[in-house]
């Protein structure tokens, strides 16, 4: 289901107190968009630091997160996903106004039941597929942008109307409209891209480099051909604009034949089995979310992975080639 401006009633959000928990990438952009859409009762909850300073410069009067939770009919939970559970338990949960609405911009914490939600609270997702600066710039320039919306809990019976009202006020139902989804779907696809799709693509580039290097080709030539030329970025841009396969028409006939004949014979069985395992056993089972909630473990594991990747031949070659093409880059 796609929702357009005409499906929405902006007066719903205009009549509420909207509290922002967090004034970072998404928080700032969405708060400014709401204000410009005629939402006058906006409360910013943040500790007194640079984010709060930014909020003051933008004309808001930030309060503590606890106070923002107490005042809000609508709570926009816009702090990093990995911090949401702790902040929810320590600062928000005990201060929530009765019959209020929780709005998340990513499905993760709701999909994996990491937040204990009061029975009378509506829960909706308004998840722009865009960085905060893009959400703000496009709103100002009246350009549509993609966004997922969903209703996750609806004790009031009016959660969809509230959700669409917020989406409309941040500019997410313009043009092609906002896409009906769910926290499970949004988080599932997002984590799948992070844990299956992109690692496979990175490993393919790594192995491509290794095979070409073993054949005696120079690392400069390999890396320029693989990505330093920015050709992959251009290919993906054409794929988004004109079609995943149709973009091949911009390649030579030799290239078209090479790509199609190999891809059409690739049965993908091994990759499919691996992807299936990652999606079902690791992501949708909640196993990953449970592990990742242990913030100490998560920080240590991430640091270990960074250390390990430093030794990969493609990473070391990347550094050497950059030293040659941009000798001043470390000064």
| Least distance CB 202 / ligand NDP (angstroms) | 20
Binding stretches for ligand NDP (CB under 6 A): 22-27, 46-47, 49, 51, 78-81, 83, 87, 105-106, 127-128, 131-132
**Sequence-distant (≥ 6) Cβ neighbours of residue 26 within 8 angstroms:** 78, 105, 128, 132, 135
In the complex, minimum distance from the CB of residue 21 to ligand NDP, in angstroms, rounded to a whole number: 7
Q: Minimum distance between the CB of residue 326 and ligand NDP, rounded to whole angstroms?
A: 27
Nearer to ligand NDP, 93 or 206 (CB): 93
Cα–Cα distance measured from residue 146 to residue 31, given in angstroms and rounded to the nearest whole number: 18
Q: Which is nearer to ligand NDP, 109 or 168 (CB)?
A: 109
Rounded least distance, CB 46 to ligand NDP, Å: 5
- Closest CB 142 distance from ligand NDP, rounded Å: 20
Q: Which is nearer to ligand NDP, 9 or 48 (CB)?
A: 48
Sequence-distant (≥ 6) Cβ neighbours of residue 109 within 8 angstroms: 77, 81, 84, 85, 88, 115
Q: What is the CA radius of gyration of the chain?
A: 23
CB of 165 to ligand NDP, least distance (A): 19
The nearer residue to ligand NDP, 78 or 321, going by C-beta atoms, is: 78
Residue nearest to ligand NDP (CB): 24
Output phi, psi for 112, to 5 deg.
-105, 20
* CB closer to ligand NDP, 125 vs 248: 125
- Give the DSSP H/E element, type plus range, for residue 180: strand 178-180
DSSP letter at 244? Answer: T
Residue 139 vs 209, nearer CB to ligand NDP:
139
Which DSSP string do the residues of 108-166 spell out, in sequence order?
Answer: HHHHTT-S---TT-EEEEEEESS-HHHHHHHHHTT----EEEEEEE-TTS-HHHHHHHH
Kindly tell me the burial class for residue 235, based on how many C-beta atoms sit within 10 Å of its own C-beta (0-12, 13-18, 19 or more).
middle
Q: Any idea what DSSP says for residue 93?
A: G
């Amino acid at each position: 289901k796609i929702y357009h401006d005409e499906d929405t009633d902006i007066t719903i959000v205009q009549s509420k107190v909207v509290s922002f928990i967090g004034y970072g990438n998404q928080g700032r952009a969405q708060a400014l968009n709401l204000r410009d859409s005629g939402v006058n009762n906006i409360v910013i909850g943040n500790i007194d630091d640079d984010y709060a300073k930014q909020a003051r410069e933008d004309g808001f009067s930030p309060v503590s997160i606890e106070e923002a939770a107490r005042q809000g009919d609508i709570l926009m939970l816009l702090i990093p996903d990995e911090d949401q559970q702790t902040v929810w338990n320590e600062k928000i949960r005990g201060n929530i106004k009765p019959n209020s609405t929780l709005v998340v911009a990513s499905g993760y914490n709701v999909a994996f039941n990491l937040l204990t939600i009061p029975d009378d609270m509506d829960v909706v997702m308004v998840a722009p597929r865009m960085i905060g600066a893009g959400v703000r710039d496009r709103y100002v320039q009246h350009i549509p942008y993609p966004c997922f919306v969903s209703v996750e809990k609806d004790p009031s019976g009016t959660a969809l109307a509230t959700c669409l009202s917020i989406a409309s006020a941040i500019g997410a139902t313009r043009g092609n409209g906002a896409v009906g989804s769910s926290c499970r779907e949004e988080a599932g696809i997002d984590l799948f891209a992070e844990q299956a799709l992109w690692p496979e693509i990175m490993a393919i580039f790594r192995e491509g480099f290794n095979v070409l290097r073993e054949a005696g080709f120079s690392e400069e030539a390999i890396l320029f051909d693989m990505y330093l030329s920015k050709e992959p970025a251009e290919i993906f841009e054409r794929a988004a604009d004109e079609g995943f396969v149709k973009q091949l028409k911009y390649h030579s006939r030799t290239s078209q034949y090479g790509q199609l004949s190999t891809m059409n014979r690739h049965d993908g069985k091994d990759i499919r089995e691996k992807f299936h395992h990652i999606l079902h056993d690791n992501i949708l089972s909640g196993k990953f979310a449970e592990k990742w909630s242990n913030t100490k473990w998560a920080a240590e594991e991430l640091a270990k992975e960074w250390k390990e990747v430093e030794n990969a031949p493609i990473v070391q070659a990347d550094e050497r080639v950059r030293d040659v093409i941009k000798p001043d880059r470390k000064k």
